[in-house]
Amino acid sequence: MMAERGLCVDHSTIHRWVLQYAPQLNKRCRRHLRPTGESWKVNETYVKVKGQWKYLYRAVDENGQTLDFMLSAKRDTKAAKRFLSKVLKGNHIQTPRVINVDKNPAYPRAVKELKEDQQIPQRTQLRAVRYLNNRVEQDHRRIKRLVKPGLGFGSFNTARRTLKGYEAMTMIRKGQICGVDKKDRRGQLSFIHYIFGVAS
């Protein structure tokens, strides 16, 4: 893209742009997201940071729309509860009717605590059945395709900021933005121009 415009840009400059603008992209597109469904699919995948595996918590609804995500150093009840609390705060999120998880024992404890705190209604069901989470497992691949070529991240902060950009672009490409279809590439580009105040 830069070469087409007669510009010579070092890869480290691109890296700095990603770290600067990826979190802003994620933040600015949030208010434009379509409402999600009531059936949540929650799971975590692995991301290598400084040679060590960290945990990327992710959740989608029954239609594959991204609810939210969170990078965590640990995979325990505290992290699961923090992630679910984060999801519940989203403006585009509907209160879950059912939450599908895998056999990770942290989720039942986290959901129990959230119900006690009245963050989740008592009527919300928790289903720990692995095959019901196939949709989120498949959705992980979208992010893995972007992460894998980089062979991991140099720091936790770099990973966190970059993943915000990956996830935001994934939501845009899935068609989660109000008024912008997933096949409308020109509309997606115009939307990014709009939220950053750039003339198309």
State which residues of the chain have pLDDT below 50: none
Alpha helices in the chain (DSSP H): 11-29, 77-88, 106-116, 134-147, 156-173, 185-195
Residue 4 placed within a domain: no
Q: What is the longest distance spanned by two Cα atoms in the chain?
A: 60
Residue 28's nearest CA partner among 168, 187, 175 is 168
Residue 31: inside a domain: yes
Looking at residue 36, its pLDDT comes to: 94
Q: What is the pLDDT of residue 139?
A: 87
Q: Within a domain: residue 173?
A: yes
Residue 139 lies in a domain: yes
Q: Are 29 and 36 contacting, i.e. CB atoms less than 8 angstroms apart?
A: no
The pLDDT value given to residue 135: 83
Query: What was the pLDDT predicted at 1?
Result: 58
Q: Is residue 188 part of a domain?
A: yes
What is the rounded distance in angstroms from the CA atom of residue 172 to the CA atom of residue 26?
10
> What pLDDT score was predicted for residue 34?
95
Residue 1 lies in a domain: no
6 within a domain of the structure (yes/no): no
What does the chain come to in residues?
A: 200
Show the tokens assigned to 55: 């945990």
- What's the CA gap between 1 and 7, in Å, rounded? 9
Domain that includes residue 129, residue range: 11-193
Distance in angstroms (rounded) separating the CA atoms of residues 111 and 133: 17
Cβ neighbours, 10 Å, residue 164: 21
Give 34's DSSP letter: P
When computed from its CA atoms, the radius of gyration of the chain, rounded to whole angstroms, is 18
Q: Look at residue 198 and tell me if it is in a domain.
A: no
List the CATH number of the domain containing 158.
3.30.420.10
Give me the pLDDT at residue 14, please: 76
Number of structural domains in the chain: 1
